Every structure is written in structure tokens, then in C-alpha cells.
Homo-oligomer: A and B are copies of this chain.
């Protein structure tokens, strides 16, 4: 029994869509839930969306989730006792680490728009395009109690990738991607995010109109945006559009049959989702409450925003933001040099933005109101600023975000390093970082990111041996990473690291 199954808790909503003839006036249900959380509101929107699709196969999503789960490492934890299994399976949603936060949202009027559903959308999309012949899944009629066996069935079906175009059409018909803004059925990828037709057109109109008129002021600035309330407040709807990554210049054209062929940002939601899941899982294995890290992460990213908005010089920022690295460390030197020569502007990597959003949506307790404002603030800044580019100091900060994750991972697992054995988290973090900072040519793959600290433990050694492409890298960043590594990857306990992070005065 895989513990990641909770992720499919989103999907209860999907199943509603197949029962259009037997469901009744769903609007009343809508109006009954004013302060619905995002998760639940997605739940509702699915009912709306799919009620008129008769030939939907409810197994589709399940299989998607199954494949998603199959990609995750299996847990040896004993959550599925024979007598506990009963409760566990019904309470998949609440008992697993990933979904327990969703319920915490429910008492808040959270306006965070990027939700688990968005990630699932990505995952569904990816999985669907990868293997599109599962829609006729009559072989799944008998649902095996153990998810492993069903995974095997699924992978068996994957072995025959023929009749792809036909099935793709079918897949398009009963598409389960929902709008990231309002939760209604998505009609495709519009202006940088999966949205419905209504939100697509709304964004286009508002983008044109906003140039001259601006918003009609919203008082609360915190409106819930779902299919029912989307027409009420245009400001909050627009801000949510921004928050989910929409932008007039973020369009994607042409056909995108494969993930590799896409000319747009790569679909990294899956890896990000499992990345976060793995982090939590590691916390569980290490007997560390993940919620302890909440304030830490939130503060970290809030300072990121302040840095993004600040107009100080590089030196000031470096002085303020180095993790107590000495000022003439390679990192500051690098930044100084880059800054002196040219502007050295770096575009904000999409995946960093997504990472940011996903983090705040999934990991942080919704009771913390700051998160909601933070993510909107962050996205909004990036969209509204004139030069939507990161300066060097900002880039350095992004760099440190990745490092932060690695350090976090390291510290969490240093008590029992065995959990890192073949753990995909480190590999994924590394790949992510490498893709983000590929413009900096590393000396070699192994010397820079992956085997960061040869002097310390060997936890990261076995992670990314599969990736073999090599891009020439400058030795300066390699030694830079080495130095940061030696500083941060030292044998700090978690409390040490925590105080190390908190004691530092960012502002």
C-alpha cells in the first residue's frame, strides 16, 4: 500500500463528472459553500465541468494517480496494518502527509490559487500524453486491494503504445484538466496556465483594459475565485490569473504531442510534486515534524521577495544575504564580477516559480495567512514589474534556494542516512538546479552539483548517475559550490541549522 495515494484525494471530484444524469441542481451545493477551501472548490468545479460528458471513464484519473504513485518510491512503513487498513483506506486523504494540509485550509478563507489540483493537472496531462491507451481500461474492473498489483497492470498496458492518435482523441474528449483559476473544465493551455475559456478571455480582456482603466477596487483583496464567484471580483480574479502564472507573453503555440517537443517551459510539476512529497516523507522517516519547517521556509521566501523588490546594490545584498559566508568568498566575488561587467540579467526560471508556488500551496499550513499573501505578492511582483528579469543578486538568491533545499534534505536525513539510499529527492533537486543554472558552465556534472561535498557524508553520491549529458562548466562555480557546501553541509544538527537560519538577520 503506497502512502502517496492521498494525492488522489483530489480526485473524488473527478468522479462526479460521470454521473450527470443522476445528479441534480448542483448550484445549490455551490451556494452552500461560501468559504470553501480551494481543494473543495475544485471538487465542485469538476462536477460542473464534466456533467455533460457522457462517455467519461472514471478509471482514467485513478490510473493516472496510480502511475504517479508508481513513480514514487515505495514506503516500507507499516501504515497498512490489517486492522488499520480499514481505516487507512477510507482516510487516505487525511492520514497521509501530503494531504493533511488540505484540510487545514478549510477553516481559512485561503485565496491561494495554485493548488494540488494544478499539479495533478500537470501530472495527468503528462501521464496521459505518455501513455494514452489506458482509457479503455476494462481490465481494471476488478480493483485490486493492493496498489502494487494495479500498478503492474498499468505498466503492462503501457507496453503497447499503439493506436495512439485514436486514443489521444478520446483522451481529449474526456479531458480532466481543470482551470487553475476557477476550477472549471480547462480548454487548454492559455497564456501560461491551464484555464477555461472564460478565464482565458477574461485575462485577455483585462490585460488590454488594465492599461487604461485599472482595476475596480476590491475591498477585501482576498476573494475566493471559483466557478461561482469568478465573475464577482475582477481584481482578485486577475490577481489569481497572475498567481497561477498567466501572462500575455507566456503563450505557447503549436502542437505539443510530446513533452520534449514542447517549446514552452518543461513540465516539471510531477517531479516537483514528488520532490515535496519526498521531503515530507523524509521528515516522517526521520521522525521530524515537517510543520516545524514552516516558519523557516516562509521567512526564507518572504525575504526572497524583499530582495526581489529591493534596489540595493549587489554588494549590499550580498552582504545581507550570504549565509554568513565571508564577504570575499567565491560567491560574492562571482556576483561582484558578474555585476561589474554587465547587467547579467537572468530570466526568472519558470520552474523556480512553480517550485515556489507549489511549496507554498502544498507544504505550508494554511493557517498561516502570510503564505497566501506571499505567493500572490511574489507572482504579482514578477508580472507587474517592468523588467521581469532577475538581477544577479536575485539569481544568487535563487541559487541559494536550491541550496537551502539540499541542506534541508541533508540535515533531515543525517540522523539515519539510510533513507537517502536511492532516494529520488536529491536527484531531482540536483537536476532542477542544474537546469536552472545551466547558463553557468560547470566543470563537470560530478564535481559541481551532484557530489557536492566529498568531504562529508556520501549521501548524495548515488543520486544522479543516470543523467549523463555534460555541459562545460566554469571552475569558479564549481569551487563556489564546494565552498558553500563545506560550510553548509557540515555536521550541523537540525536545531543548529534552524537557529543558524533564524539568527541571521535578513532585513
Chain A residues near B (Cβ < 8 Å) = 9, 11-16, 18-37, 40, 43-44, 47-49, 51-52, 57-59, 62, 85-95, 100, 103-104, 106-107, 138, 140-145, 150, 184-185, 192, 198, 227-229, 231-232, 245, 247-251, 253-254, 259-266, 268-269, 271-272, 275, 330, 333-334, 337-338, 341-345, 347-351, 353-355, 357-358, 379, 382-383, 385-390, 428, 431-432, 434-436, 438-444, 468-477, 479-480
Contact = CB atoms under 8 A, between A and B. Distances in A.
A9 B347 CA distance: 14
Contact of A21 (B88, B263, B271, B344): B271
Contact of A476 (B43, B87, B263, B354): B87
24 contacts: A15-B439, A22-B351, A23-B350, A24-B268, A24-B351, A25-B268, A25-B350, A28-B250, A29-B347, A32-B385, A49-B263, A51-B266, A59-B469, A59-B471, A87-B334, A90-B477, A91-B334, A93-B439, A95-B337, A103-B342, A103-B344, A140-B472, A142-B444, A143-B473
A261 B49 CA distance: 9
A37 B32 CA distance: 29
B438 A344 contact: no
A383 B25 contact: no
A403 B349 CA distance: 46
A334 B48 CA distance: 28
A87 B333 contact: yes
A344 B106 CA distance: 7
A276 to B, nearest CB: 11
Contact of A262 (B52, B86, B330, B383): B52
A1 to B, nearest CB: 11
Given A12-B438, A62-B472, A471-B58, A249 B34 contact: yes
Given A58-B469, A338-B94, A435-B18, A353 B24 contact: yes
Contacts of A140: 470, 472
Nearest to A259: B52
B388 A22 contact: no
Nearest to A32: B388
B343 A184 contact: no
**Which of A22, A428, A468 is packed against the most chain B CB atoms within 10 Å?**
A22
A327 to B, nearest CB: 15
A89 B443 CA distance: 11
A342 B477 contact: no
Given A24-B268, A27-B245, 19 more contacts: A15-B435, A16-B438, A22-B432, A23-B350, A27-B250, A28-B250, A87-B333, A89-B475, A90-B440, A91-B341, A93-B439, A103-B343, A104-B343, A140-B472, A142-B470, A143-B444, A143-B472, A143-B473, A184-B263
A25 B353 contact: yes
Given A143-B443, A334-B91, A349-B29, A57 B341 contact: no
A29 B34 CA distance: 34
Given A198-B254, A260-B52, A471-B59, A31 B89 contact: no
B389 A22 contact: no
A87 B438 contact: no
A431 to B, nearest CB: 4
6 closest A-B pairs by beta carbon, nearest first, are A24-B354, A12-B439, A143-B472, A15-B438, A103-B342, A19-B435
A251 B231 contact: yes
A338 B44 CA distance: 20
Nearest to A442: B143
A505 to B, nearest CB: 28
A351 B27 CA distance: 10
Contacts of A20: 266, 268
Contacts of A27: 192, 245, 247, 250, 264-265, 350
Nearest to A51: B266
Contacts of A479: 86
Nearest to A480: B90
B475 A86 contact: yes
A454 B195 CA distance: 46
A480 to B, nearest CB: 8
A184 B263 CA distance: 8
**Which of A62, A103, A259, A351 is packed against the most chain B CB atoms within 10 Å?**
A351
Contacts of A473: 143
Nearest to A26: B350
A229 to B, nearest CB: 7
Contacts of A227: 263
Nearest to A431: B22
Contacts of A440: 12, 90
A389 B36 contact: yes
Contacts of A94: 337-338, 341-342, 344
